[in-house]
Amino acid sequence: MKPAFLPGDKLEAADVKNNNLVCVASVSDTYADKILVHFDGWEDTYDYWCTYSSAHIHPIGWCQDNLQILSAPNGYEDASKFTWESYLEDTKSRAAPISGFQPVSVQVEPYVSVLCQNAHASIQGFCGERTVC
């Protein structure tokens, strides 16, 4: 089976220690259904492994579509003028394919589902303490 993501693919990824911080990132490595996320412009000490279904990774444009702030790569010349189109061209890279992102599905009773929706942020926050989400 061909991997959904390839090293060098670009995506938007949340910092697992601060879910409110979503940054420009790259796939650094792959293993089975996991990717090693690297924040562009940052040291690899911030890298983390996650599955394709992780709530921490998003296709490019996710922040714009969801009215979230996207942090440009550390050291980017003019962060206020960052665009994915020019960045992909400048870095000679491609966007991670949308088909690679697998949504999380959970089978629960309807009344539990409502509770889970309301507690989603807390559940996501707990995931940040683990290496693989």
Instruction: Tell me whether residue 99 is in a domain.
Output: yes
Name residue, tokens 């693989």: 132
Determine the distance from the C-alpha atom of residue 64 to the mean position of all C-alpha atoms in its chain, rounded to a whole number: 14
Q: Structurally, how many domains does the chain consist of?
A: 1
Instruction: Say if CB 87 and CB 53 are below 8 A apart.
Output: no
**pTM for this entry:** 0.76
Sites in the chain below the pLDDT cut of 50: 106-133
Query: Average pLDDT, whole number, for the chain?
Result: 82
pLDDT in tens, 25-52: 999 999 999 999 999 999 999 999 999 9
Cα distance from N-terminal residue to C-terminal residue, the chain: 22
Whether residue 133 lies inside any domain: the answer is: no
Q: Residue 77 maps to which CATH number?
A: 2.30.30.140
Domain of 43 in residue numbering reads as: 10-127
Long-range CB contacts (within 8 A, 24+) of 126-130: 127/16, 127/54, 127/55, 127/56, 128/16, 128/17, 128/18, 128/19
Would you say residue 1 lies in a domain? no
